[in-house]
A and B are shown apart, each in its own frame.
Chain A
């Protein structure tokens, strides 16, 4: 455990750096977790169901809702035109116009044009869900179907049908990320190679789907319980949509059964459910079905790259043209992942001439929302394949090419376009993963296996994970706020603006506050997600919860501690500097005298201002923490950086390809990561393991397949294959702690690390397995049919 100079004097017994069990574990294990759908609301709650368009592009000519309205139990039937008339357009999570892109307005239901199959066109509220769903079938919609386009490349063709009326073409934005002079450097490079790699449309599939319960009270206040990652921004948006004061809206983010970006706010159903509740005059609940949940996209990219390098394997220049198929845009901010995909290039490598352009393209597929990885997985996949291709061309070991190109530790902090990388020991982590995986030994085994005709492959993946995004001008901000209170029983309450997607950050925050106050983790209660209770915060995204939420709580706890120390010094007749906090006591380190914390708190409450040497009896503090390493104002070189913290990890995967079927089996997996100072090693490992599993799933199986009719075919978990326990190997992990010099406790974001590295490592391993056959597969996921096709193509080659 690395301690920063600012760490409290109580560090010896500190819960920070310990594998504390998660809070509420006993509740969850006994079935009392209380996720959204488990909460009992007073009075009867009505149920909403949504009619969704079967067509990817269509004009709604006529809608007849009379039969649905006449059904028993039905209370409200709402059309798109009615919904749009009653609300303001839904604000964007992150508007493409902010980066010079095209934008459009979105409403709770499609108004007269449908932009994707699955877009909601009407809603029913009934006394039971059975009745609401049955009534959907009685709504008659006359559609005039329109031509549609599903492929990004085709969508850019001049004659392509437009997704949004009035757009000159289907490009949402074209985003450049560049440094140096890539064209000249490529022209001058001793070697160049070009290639293409695509990453499929897939998503995160949290086990609890989204849901909202809205209720209006007689005084015009809206309360929404939501399975969301951003309660406060959701409140802001709801107020805007309904034109009411923000203080008239309360959002309560319930315990999440997974978030992963899928539950970022700005979905049309949020405002819709609130509107339905208003129309029904009663609370209304809507839960996303699994089928609806699987509609949400999160990636679909094509990279076309050219790389220049020298005979030693030093990469001199890189050009990457990225095509991102973001579907029908939507108000949700998923499209912004395409921005991050471009920004992340060239990852952990020191490449001084690069030129990246991301074309963000709208198509008639369902819109994206966030996904753990947030575009970084796409950049990593491309970068990691590029490094391996360079190695292959030069007949060098891929590990060696990485050694020659990783940013050296002594170059940190490191500026490159759009990124100011805080810290990192990339070479050390690379060596550590190679050693942990017995890379040399594995290579030797591979030689033997190959001699026997086995297709064994070893792949390295190195990932850079920029975290803690601060997108000024939007409600996706870097800073956050916490209140800490101490009570007369010596317990503390933390009210925080960050929320938990089920990762355990509440426990992490409790550990940090407990460490400051010298109390037990169980003595700290962390309240999250209720906008009536918590300070305004931006919720959960970009692995920010401990780096900013935890840091804000630490600052607030230090304020409280300072008051207690002053009072304690007075009571014990010692110096403030000698007061420390441990085991629920204030301790005079000079004399060894101890005072139970409740006594100190009580003294402040009852005697503050009239003795004790303190003027204010303030036992709570609210503090905002802004990450330091964010540079939103361009420096003299024109550089900006929206991410304050840069976690990274290195991976080695070993796979075997079944030559006859193309099926890939992951035989072993090793990952080493560094997310700065670790608050709870068990949780950090848990995040890493879960992210690697997701990465492997995306590399090999998960895919949202569309039919030629423009409808999603992977609409159940039988058709969208997520990894199950027998699919995965044992994952060996290690961690390293390079504290961020710019973060309060040296903490970096740790929630996403692993997704991208795993994709890179698996893609490299599979391609390494195919190397003796002289083929590669650059189309993800590396499913058996795709891999076999590559093998078969090779077979028919002369």
Chain B
């Protein structure tokens, strides 16, 4: 067996690599990645945004969901180079700029819309997409909207209640789904 052999050759020299330009959570950035990396890997490893989770790497669970150019997508299904030039919002970037929670996040907290929290990225981004379309979703529409996500803790019911509550709060309030960014005085 090999005992901790330190390698002398650059191990991954043969792996195609590139520099990507992305806008992540409003900030432009450049990141070096291997062509074979998945978007979720680049977000988590290079950009250290750990709020995007991995539950299956197979497109089934939704835990890796982010918003890419305004659409909720599963980032384990995207090769990082395919994201070149795109604008990405991760769970870390959902709330208002100064910190805190947006009305949707707030509704999930107040209505117990999660337990362990692992599935939250999928639920939040799926709900965002739904609420951008309608603020009066039926329960069936909410169930359909989160159908790409698996939650093993809640049985989905408190997720539905959370989305309902968020829809109502946003509908009644002056706040938009994504709160206005305060312009510095």
A interface residues (Cβ-Cβ under 8 A, vs B): 19, 21-22, 25-26, 28-35, 37-38, 40, 65, 69, 72-79, 82, 127-128, 130-131, 204-209, 255-258, 260, 279-282, 289-290, 501-504, 682-683, 685-686, 689-694, 716-718, 722-726, 728, 730-731
The answer on a CB contact under 8 Å between B58 and A716 is yes
B160–A29 CB distance below 8 A? no
Binding stretch for chain A, among B77-85, B140-148, B175-183? B140-148
Contact A69 B155 (CB under 8 A): no
Minimum distance in angstroms from A517 CB to a CB of chain B:
25
Q: Are B109 and A30 in contact (CB under 8 A)?
A: no
Assembly CA distance A33 to B60 (angstroms): 22
Q: Output the residue of B4, B154, B155, B160 with the most chain A CB within 10 A.
A: B155
By a CB distance below 8 angstroms, the chain A residues around B121 are 31
Report the separation of the CA atoms of residues A686 and B56 in the bound assembly, to the nearest whole angstrom: 24
Residues B36 and A290 in contact, CB atoms below 8 Å apart: no
B57 and A290 form a contact (CB under 8 A) = yes
Cα separation A730 to B1 with both chains bound (whole Å)? 57
Complex Cα–Cα for A73 and B11 (A):
5
- Closest Cβ of chain B to A462, distance in Å, is 20
Closest to B8 in A: A72
A-side contacts of B50, CB under 8 Å:
31-32, 34-35, 37-38
Stretch at the interface among B16-24, B67-75, B87-95: B87-95
Q: Which partner residue on chain A sits nearest B142 by CB separation?
A: A725
User: How far does the alpha carbon of A208 sit from the alpha carbon of B90 in the complex, in Å?
Assistant: 18
User: Could you say which residues of chain B place their CB within 8 Å of the CB of A683?
Assistant: 112
> Beyond A31-B90, A72-B11, A685-B112: 8 further Cβ-contacts under 8 Å?
A21-B110, A31-B51, A127-B11, A207-B150, A258-B152, A502-B117, A693-B156, A730-B139
How far is the CB of B89 from the nearest CB of chain A, in Å?
Answer: 11
Enumerate chain A residues within 8 angstroms of B170, measured Cβ to Cβ: none
Tell me, in angstroms, the Cα distance from A289 to B116 when the chains sit together. Answer: 19
User: Which residues of chain B are near A35, meaning CB under 8 Å?
Assistant: 50, 53, 118
Which of the residues B5, B63, B94, B109 comes within 8 Å of A207, measured between beta carbons?
Answer: B63
**Is B119 positioned at the interface, with any CB of A under 8 Å from its CB?**
yes
Q: B49: which A residues are within 8 A, CB to CB?
A: 31
Q: Which of B113-167 contact A (CB under 8 A)?
A: 114-121, 124, 139-140, 142-144, 146-147, 149-160
Q: Which of A28, A34, A76, A128 contacts B12 (CB 8 A)?
A: A128
Is A30 in contact with B51, judged by CB distance below 8 angstroms? yes
Question: Are A718 and B58 in contact, with the CB atoms below 8 A?
Answer: yes
Q: Which residues of A contact B100 (CB under 8 A)?
A: 26
Instruction: Please report the C-alpha to C-alpha distance between residue A618 and residue B117 in the assembled complex, in whole angstroms.
Output: 37
Q: Which of B63, B117, B124, B154 touches A686 (beta carbons < 8 Å)?
A: B154
**Given A130-B36, A205-B152, A290-B55; A72-B12 close (CB under 8 Å):** yes
Nearest Cβ on chain A to B27's Cβ, whole angstroms: 15
Rounded to whole angstroms, the CA-CA distance of A722 and B119 in the bound complex is: 14
Please tell me if the beta carbons of A207 and B4 are within 8 angstroms of each other in the complex: no
CB neighbours (8 Å) of A281 from chain B are 3-4
Interface size class of B (residues with CB under 8 A): 35 or more
Contact check, A73 vs B153: say whether CB atoms are below 8 A apart: no
Q: Give the contacting residue for B115; candidates A82, A686, A728; CB below 8 A.
A: A686
For A29, list chain B residues within 8 Å (CB): 91, 95, 101, 105, 108-109, 114, 117, 120, 124
CB distance from B82 to the nearest CB of A (A): 18
* 9 A-B pairs in the complex with CB atoms less than 8 angstroms apart: A29-B114, A30-B95, A31-B90, A72-B9, A79-B1, A128-B11, A691-B155, A693-B154, A724-B150
A34 and chain B: residue at smallest CB distance: B50
**In the bound complex, CA of A72 to CA of B12 (Å):** 7
User: Which B residues touch A694, using CB under 8 A?
Assistant: 152, 155
The distance in angstroms between the C-alpha atoms of A31 and B25, with both chains bound, is 12
B143 in contact with A722 (CB, 8 Å):
no
Inter-chain contact A76/B152, CB cutoff 8 Å: no
The reply to whether B61 and A717 form a contact with Cβ atoms under 8 Å apart is yes
Give Cα A717 to B149, complex, Å: 11
Name the A residues within 8 Å of B174 (CB-CB).
none
- Closest residue of A by beta carbon distance from B154: A690
Q: Which residues in A have their C-beta under 8 angstroms from that of B44?
A: 37-38
Interface hub of B143, B144, B152, B157 (most chain A Cβ within 10 A)? B152
B115 touches A503 (CB 8 A): yes
Contact B116 A502 (CB under 8 A): yes
A127 touches B118 (CB 8 A): no
Q: Evaluate contact between B109 and A26: CB separation under 8 angstroms.
A: yes
Please, which residues of chain A bring their CB within 8 A of the CB of B56?
A: 290, 716-717
Q: Which residues of the partner chain B approach A22 to less than 8 Å between Cβ atoms?
A: 109, 112, 115
Instruction: Report B57 CB to chain A, min CB distance, Å.
Output: 7
Docked CA distance A22–B65 (Å): 23
Task: Kindly state the separation between the CA atoms of A30 and B117 in the bound complex, as whole angstroms.
Answer: 10
CB pair B109–A258 under 8 Å, yes or no, is no
* CA A128 to CA B7, docked complex, whole Å: 13
For residue B140, which residues in chain A have a CB less than 8 angstroms away from its CB?
Answer: 726
User: Closest CB of chain B to A718's CB: distance in Å?
Assistant: 6
The reply to whether B147 and A208 form a contact with Cβ atoms under 8 Å apart is no
Most buried by A among B91, B94, B157: B157
Within the complex, the shortest CB–CB distance from B43 to chain A, in Å, comes to 10
Contact of A716 with B109 in the complex, beta carbons under 8 Å? no
Determine the chain A residues whose CB is within 8 A of the CB of B157 once the complex forms: 689, 693, 728, 730-731
CB-CB nearest in chain B for A28 = B117
Enumerate chain B residues within 8 angstroms of A205, measured Cβ to Cβ: 150, 152
B53-A208 in contact (CB<8A): yes
The complex places the Cα of A37 from the Cα of B101 at a distance, in Å, of 24
In the complex, A86 Cα to B3 Cα: how many Å? Answer: 13
Bound-state Cα–Cα, A279 to B10, Å: 22
CB B35 to nearest CB in A, in angstroms, measures: 12
Contact (Cβ within 8 A) A208 B55: yes
Name the A residues within 8 Å of B10 (CB-CB): 72
Docked CA distance A290–B1 (Å): 28
- B54 on the A face (CB < 8 A): yes
**B116 contacts A257, C-beta separation under 8 Å:** yes
Contacts of B156 in A (CB 8 A): 693, 723-725, 728
- The distance in angstroms between the C-alpha atoms of A90 and B76, with both chains bound, is 35
**How distant is A120 from chain B, measured CB to nearest CB, in Å?**
15
**Contact between B151 and A207 (Cβ–Cβ < 8 Å)?**
yes
CB <8 Å contact, A30 and B118: no
Check A502 against B124 for contact (C-beta < 8 Å).
Answer: no
Nearest Cβ in chain B — how far from A286, in angstroms? Answer: 14
| Closest B residue by C-beta to A732 | B157
Taken together as a complex, chains A and B put the C-alpha atoms of A761 and B92 apart, in Å, by 41
Complex CA gap A722/B116 in Å reads 17
Residue of A nearest to B52 (CB): A31
Chain A residues contacting B159 (CB-CB under 8 Å) are 725
B169 → A minimal CB distance (Å): 15
Contact of A28 among B2, B63, B120 (CB under 8 A): B120
Q: Chain B residues with Cβ under 8 A from A290's Cβ?
A: 55-58, 60-61
Answer whether A31 and B91 are a contact pair too, CB < 8 Å, given A21-B109, A689-B154: yes
Contacts of A82 in B (CB 8 A): 1
Asked whether, in the complex, the Cβ of A722 is within 8 Å of the Cβ of B152, the reply is: yes
